[in-house]
Amino acid sequence: MSVSTLEGYHGEILRRLKIANAKIGDIIKITTNSGEVFEGALFPRSEYGNPDHIVLKLRNGYNIGIHYEKTETIQVVGEGQKPHFTKPPPPPKSAGLPRVAIISTGGTIASRVDYRTGAVQPALTAEDLASVVPELSSIALVEADILFSELSENVTPSQWKTLAEEIAKKIRTGIAGVVVSQGTDTMHYTSAALSFALQRLPVPVLLVGAQRSSDRPSSDAASNLTGAIALAAKADLGAVGVAMHQNLSDRYIVAHRGTRVRKCHTSRRDAFKSINSEPLAKYDLQTGQIAYSEDHPKRSMGHDLIVKPEFDQHATLLKFYPGFNPEIIDAAVKAGERGIVLEGTGLGHVSKYSYDSLRSAIKSDVPVFMTSQTIWGRVDMNVYVTGRDLLNIGVVPLEDMIPETALVKLMWVLGHNRSIDKIRQAMLDPIAGEITSRTSIMEEA
């Protein structure tokens, strides 16, 4: 990005900024006509931002957009801060430290912000990381690579395959653990995908991200990264997990099981929650101690890693609601989808108005599976008549599997099977803790 003196600003705003003799990067002070005063670095206006806003980066790390009509005075009070990074410490004598691979796929966890242009750049060489999070050098010998650089909402099932294969390569070099940085939006879909694609894992594979980018004072980037790398280096864990804040304090980083985790808040640091289960492990950033859940899969160098990285994205997740138009089911079948996961209501229901479309989908060899939009709990289609109707039609209940994991598993199952019977069966076979059967002989009345 080339930086002109007043990049992105036009018309009246440009005129006012020129009068003030302001340049991008300068520290400017704006007094609004309601008397508020804002001081910060002048940012270039983004192509997608409000064209009537002057954008400042405040000292507290927040950006603010101020409508030009609200500005009473604009004043340059200082030169722009030049981008600077602390000089990395000399490479540590790390002979005894475990080797951890960190693979970047995008996201802002390990990013440096150029304060002058506002551009976020990945900080992913070992030196960059050491400069951003100096304590890492005492935990592990980090080998960092950029695999791709994608906003997480744009990550595709074929990129899950690329990632799984890259992780497998790293593991085969005898690495102690792997950390994958990704944007948080779809991190739980990726963790589910890797949980199915990489079986009999000898070491931990931990997805990590940040809910607040690393240029903000409230950023969780450094603490998440430290926890993830420590767990990858030392935890007695042979599984895929998502390593993020346990709560709003900065003390514990938990590793959620890759198939049991979900982003449950748009912006909180503890947005990720284990559903119907406990996190596999918990790292104490203060003491360095690790606690485990009872049933966590253990690290074993003897494990023979199995890589099954195919995904067929012709699987559809449909959430049911009152007034749901069953033509959407017909359309999915017509569009060539090979399987459907329903997010039903309650114990696993959709309305009787969808029965015909479901019958016709199943008749067309498009298997249909049931999960619940309640998120927590377990579907049980033997309790009410609607559940029994749906079982009769051939809808397969997925017990306590969460909808997102069910969808990813279906894509993975479709990637490795053609036979409808095998697809149905494979969805119910537990692979990575994603499904547990009801143990009791009791039926709920």
Footprint on residues 340-359 left by a second copy (CB under 8 A): 343-353
Report how far residue 229's alpha carbon sits from residue 331's, in angstroms, rounded to the nearest whole number. Answer: 45
Which residue among the candidates 23, 161, 263, 282 is catalytic per the annotation? 263
Footprint on residues 248-277 left by a second copy (CB under 8 A): 263-268, 271
Using CB under 8 A, which of 44, 106, 122, 157 touches a second copy?
157
Q: Is 242 helix (H, G, I), strand (E, B) or coil?
A: strand
Q: Strand pairing of 37-42 and 99-104? A: unpaired
Q: Are 401 and 195 in contact (CB under 8 A)?
A: no
Nearer to a second copy, 21 or 247 (CB): 247
Residue 148 contacts a second copy per CB under 8 A? no
Report how far residue 418's alpha carbon sits from residue 108's, in angstroms, rounded to the nearest whole number. Answer: 39
The stretch near a second copy (CB under 8 A) out of 252-260, 315-323, 358-366, 416-424 is 315-323
In the complex, the smallest distance separating the C-beta of residue 373 from a second copy, rounded to whole angstroms, is: 8
Report how far residue 417's alpha carbon sits from residue 438's, in angstroms, rounded to the nearest whole number. Answer: 26
Using CB under 8 A, which of 3, 14, 97, 151 touches a second copy?
151
Footprint on residues 52-91 left by a second copy (CB under 8 A): 57, 61-66
Q: Does residue 86 carry a catalytic annotation?
A: no
The stretch near a second copy (CB under 8 A) out of 12-20, 97-105, 125-133, 154-162 is 154-162
Which residue among the candidates 105, 184, 226, 371 is catalytic per the annotation? 184
Q: Strand pairing of 368-372 and 252-257? A: unpaired
Burial of 115 (0-12, 13-18, 19+ CB in 10 A): middle
Nearer to a second copy, 100 or 414 (CB): 414
Residue 47 contacts a second copy per CB under 8 A? yes
Report how far residue 430's alpha carbon sits from residue 312's, in angstroms, rounded to the nearest whole number. Answer: 19
Residue 29 contacts a second copy per CB under 8 A? no
- How many residues bind a second copy (CB under 8 A)? The answer is 93
Residue 208 contacts a second copy per CB under 8 A? no
Nearer to a second copy, 152 or 360 (CB): 152
Write the CA distances from 259 to 146, 158, 343, integer angstroms.
25, 19, 17
Using CB under 8 A, which of 323, 418, 421, 439 touches a second copy?
323
Nearer to a second copy, 146 or 391 (CB): 391
Residue 372 contacts a second copy per CB under 8 A? yes
The stretch near a second copy (CB under 8 A) out of 3-11, 241-249, 327-335, 423-431 is 327-335
Phi, psi (5° rounding) for residue 331? -65, -40
* DSSP H or E segment with residue 112: strand 111-113
Using CB under 8 A, which of 156, 300, 364, 419 touches a second copy?
156
Cβ partners under 8 Å of residue 191, min gap 6: 207, 240, 241, 242, 256, 258, 259, 261
Q: Say how far residue 302 (Cα) sits from the centre of its chain.
A: 30
The stretch near a second copy (CB under 8 A) out of 84-92, 236-244, 294-302, 402-410 is 402-410
Q: Are 5 and 23 in contact (CB under 8 A)?
A: yes
Q: Is 149 helix (H, G, I), strand (E, B) or coil?
A: coil
Q: Strand pairing of 53-58 and 63-67? A: antiparallel
Question: Annotated active-site positions, please?
Answer: 108, 184-185, 263
